[in-house]
Structure 1
Amino acid sequence: MSKHYTVDQIVRLGPVIPVLKFDSVEEGIAVSRALYEGGVKVLEITLRTKVGIDVIREASQIADDIAVGVGTLTRPEECELAARAGATFGVSPGFSTALDQAAKAAGLPLLPGVMTPSDILAAVAAGYEIVKFFPAEQAGGTTMLGAFHGPFPSLRFCPTGGITPASAPSFLSLPNVVCVGGSWLTPRAAVAAKDWAEITRLAREASGLARAHGVS
């Protein structure tokens, strides 16, 4: 069973949080193991397919130090469901008071999504110090995050959406970015071919990316 983490601890476990979507439980377990073997200890398993909760339940048993999160939280009732399945944290594409309250009631640390200053103000008012910037590239990328640093100097971000191995270092070099989310660690071709060694290689490569200000 995975241990309990705060969001602050989770974002320090590695520079890249893979955003995962699976078509079967077997696929989910194999990919999760391959990522873990490559040094990735944080997984965001989304609820974009019907097997998401079942994969979370199985993946959370892989190791004691793995942090398996639930992604694409959009409904309050999903928080309790994911927590019961063993999710260590939750990630949402946006912020709402209902999701915030449901996550706290379920004991599920939440990384809420923001895109605008108004989103940020709502999240900060609810007590959040770390948020997800989504969709990162489409919403202005590193330029927008740089602009946010002025009015929100203490807020930390996990940008997700459209980030690639080539652009990840630029995001990670920003003083207000603690990690990035990405789907490039699990290319469709490698998953379809069951090339778990390739996924482990990509995970090892991602785990070696440097972050700003000595975050470790």
Structure 2
Amino acid sequence: MQPHINLPAPYMPHAGLIAAFEACPLIAIMRGITPVDAADHGRALYEAGFRIVEVPLNSPNPFDSIAAIRQVLPADAIVGAGTVLHPSFVNDVKAAGGELIVMPHSDSEVVIAAKALGLACSPGVATPNEAFLALKNGADVLKMFPAEQLGANVVKAWRAVIAKEVPLVPVGGITPDNMGPFLSAGANGFGLGSALYKPGQSAAVTGSHARAYINGLRIARAGAQK
């Protein structure tokens, strides 16, 4: 049994994000989505079982896409922005209806800005120092990025020192077939990029990929419990 580990600050995660994450711990990264296509792809993801959708800000007109997805999905889904590189964007995300800020880095100013506006935040972390600083600043979920470089052994090492209440979410190179070792090491969910969605693909393809991930997660969970 893992001994009790005190967090560097009271851990009070965003309730909506945690509820969505518990329903489906797969985060759809829709890099390159356009506003005209966003709603259809959002629906396809939701129908497949996804409950968290992220539109990176280096996509075309990302705030319009966030608004479009938010408008068509039920309240139990969380819609947010990825690749948020500066705190000035946090207000724009909230104005578009976004509830989640995802970052490739762990800039304290972005995390603090997100939490000040009542948004959930998932900063990218690659070292224990970054992870604990992010938690100190109010992070809800730790995005372990890039997962290809960190690997399952790093997840296992981090899980030994990061409180079990804190979700560890590897991002980068995750496929429907390689989630098992990460789950066995202590990961809680995954961020999914180009293997789930590429610009220009149809909503039907996105839905098919999403269902493959849902099935892969089921198989990986069964294997991790053996």
**How far did residue 23 of structure 1 move?**
4.8
Counterpart amino acid of residue 205 in structure 1 = A
Secondary structure at 1:61's aligned position in 2? Answer: helix
Distance in structure 2 (CA, Å) of the matches to 1:137 and 1:100:
24
Q: Which string of whole-angstrom CA distances, capped at 9 and with x for unpartnered residues, describes residues 175-200 of structure 1?
A: 3x211001222245xx34x3x32321
Q: More relative contact order in 1 or in 2 (CA 8 Å, sep 6+)? A: 1
Pick which of 20-29 and 51-60 moved more. 20-29
Answering whether residue 66 of structure 2 is matched by residue 59 of structure 1, we say no
Distance in structure 1 (CA, Å) of the matches to 2:15 and 2:73:
14
Alignment check: 8 A CA contact 1:172 1:180 kept: no
Q: Where does residue 87 of structure 1 map in the other structure?
A: 98
Structure 2 matches for 1:112-151, cutoff 5 A?
A: 112-128=123-139, 130-138=141-149, 140-151=150-161
Return the TM-score normalized by structure 1: 0.85
Counterpart amino acid of residue 107 in structure 2 = S
Q: Where does residue 203 of structure 1 map in the other structure?
A: 210
Distance in structure 1 (CA, Å) of the matches to 2:77 and 2:16:
13
Distance in structure 1 (CA, Å) of the matches to 2:94 and 2:72:
17
Alignment check: 8 A CA contact 1:93 1:112 kept: yes
Distance in structure 1 (CA, Å) of the matches to 2:17 and 2:184:
20
**How far did residue 124 of structure 1 move?**
2.6
Q: Where does residue 174 of structure 2 map in the other structure?
A: 163
Match of 2:32 among 22, 38, 49: 22
Counterpart amino acid of residue 207 in structure 2 = T
Q: Where does residue 31 of structure 1 map in the other structure?
A: 41
Answering whether residue 188 of structure 2 is matched by residue 178 of structure 1, we say yes
Answering whether residue 54 of structure 2 is matched by residue 47 of structure 1, we say no
Distance of aligned partners of 1:67 and 1:127 in 2 relative to their CA distance in 1, 3 Å threshold: closer
Secondary structure at 1:60's aligned position in 2? Answer: helix
Aligned residues: 205
- Is the helix fraction higher in 1 or 2? 2
Alignment check: 8 A CA contact 2:120 2:140 kept: no
Alignment check: 8 A CA contact 1:73 1:91 kept: yes
Counterpart amino acid of residue 112 in structure 2 = Q
Alignment check: 8 A CA contact 1:57 1:86 kept: yes
Q: Which string of whole-angstrom CA distances, capped at 9 and with x for unpartnered residues, describes residues 91-115 of structure 1?
A: 1111122112211222211111110
Q: Which runs of 5+ in 2 are unaligned?
A: 1-13
Q: Which runs of 5+ in 1 are unaligned?
A: none
Pick which of 111-120 and 14-23 moved more. 14-23
Secondary structure at 1:93's aligned position in 2? Answer: coil
Pick which of 109-118 and 12-21 moved more. 12-21
**How far did residue 127 of structure 1 move?**
3.8
Match of 1:103 among 114, 117, 130: 114
Distance in structure 1 (CA, Å) of the matches to 2:60 and 2:198:
20
Distance in structure 2 (CA, Å) of the matches to 1:10 and 1:78:
23
Counterpart amino acid of residue 121 in structure 1 = F
Percent identical among aligned pairs is 29
Give the root-mean-square deviation of aligned CA atoms: 2.3
